A and B are shown apart, each in its own frame.
Chain A
């Protein structure tokens, strides 16, 4: 069962009468690697939350190919600031499997197996809230991928990482994509966007200003805000 495509039509998010994002029209098809870019406060996080169903839609539609409850089971989300459960690393990675009814020992075995891929094998018995910022990011990613989701949302997953860790994570994301996971990710890192993106969504003031193939976006952006953003100018 593949839950994609995801279709948003006129989707809007409000908090107490204030418009945060929208109206947004976008379709996320089954293949690809989408990068969301834009200045601080442009609405990247809100757009991701809207797609994932964490942010309530105040208008318009957000539709998956299957009912929402079914679609939810095949999605995973990596938060901008990692949320660590008060458990050991191995149990944190195992938790999504436990929620799906796996026994504690089976879930732990899978968690142990997958930890190596994320450089967490030495930390399996550490207490998750005590990890360093970068280790927390890696744990978040391991926890998200352990369920082999159809789609993975990532909100600036490399914000606290050094160059080497960034390369490792990018490799993991490419592998996940090759294994059939659709990826939608926000980032501020222009180099990373160039390396990973197949298509780019450029957010500005709560709206999608551009949604184009990556090459087109970086070589010939159509709006002046995107142009300024790519050139590293300050976008007002």
Chain B
């Protein structure tokens, strides 16, 4: 019990004194995950909008596949990306394995289906609401998608935040493709795993606290977005 509370206070000490090792890890984590969210959103949001507005033959299957991809175990994604990027793999020539880029690729694969699926659901509902009006007003396909993306912007931001939350807390895939290399690919989650193993509780708990705070902030933001939706302030 004593060692836990001791670790807790030491952890706050590390955070409040801006311990360089701790902050290097925090910044790398944010860098990797923010990049992954941006890339995944660039793919997932238009994909979600497109699925919401278009009626085509295999739409049902496309959505089913999307939902299945959402449930992919991250470890398996890690394995898959590892094989792609390893020297013998098809993308081995780029030498990306055990780099931040490899971690970004893995996170993009994990959260793109999530972002596409959430945005598809909300935009589909919005489209059901707007359909007659936009058809009546003779809006072109591009104009329809733009109206949905703009009027659904809060929901889309929520989807992005959900993607961020999932990516920042992910450990399995990152560990495999990043390798948890000190000063290179060590991020919050992999560092916690390592430091805990070494019995370095203060440092692990400092990292854990940061991770928890990030999660809380994300959820507060999602909550606040829902509120502005109801109060319609922007």
Alpha-carbon distance A225/B152, docked complex (angstroms) = 47
Of A72, A79, A85, the contact of B138 (CB 8 Å cutoff): A72
Are B151 and A87 in contact, CB atoms less than 8 angstroms apart? yes
B126 closest partner in A (C-beta):
A86
Q: Tell me the count of chain A residues lying within 8 A, CB to CB, of chain B.
A: 18
A2 close to chain B: CB less than 8 A:
no
Are A83 and B132 in contact, CB atoms less than 8 angstroms apart? yes
A134 close to chain B: CB less than 8 A:
no
A204 close to chain B: CB less than 8 A:
no
Of A72, A75, A87, A99, the contact of B143 (CB 8 Å cutoff): A99
B129 close to chain A: CB less than 8 A:
yes
A96 close to chain B: CB less than 8 A:
yes
Q: Tell me the count of chain B residues lying within 8 A, CB to CB, of chain A.
A: 15
Q: Which residues of A contact B138 (CB under 8 A)?
A: 72-73, 99
B213, chain A: closest CB distance, angstroms: 32
- Given A85-B151, A86-B232, A87-B151, check contact A99 B137 (CB 8 Å): yes
Q: Is the contact region of chain A dominated by helix, strand, or loop, or is it mixed?
A: mixed
Are A79 and B132 in contact, CB atoms less than 8 angstroms apart? yes
B147 close to chain A: CB less than 8 A:
yes
B151, chain A: closest CB distance, angstroms: 4
Alpha-carbon distance A76/B136, docked complex (angstroms) = 7
Residue numbers of A with Cβ under 8 A of B are 52, 54, 72-73, 75-77, 79, 83, 85-87, 95-96, 99, 127, 129-130
20 contacts between A and B (CB under 8 A): A54-B132, A54-B136, A73-B138, A75-B136, A76-B136, A79-B132, A79-B136, A83-B130, A83-B133, A85-B130, A85-B133, A85-B147, A86-B152, A86-B232, A95-B137, A96-B137, A99-B137, A99-B143, A127-B232, A129-B232
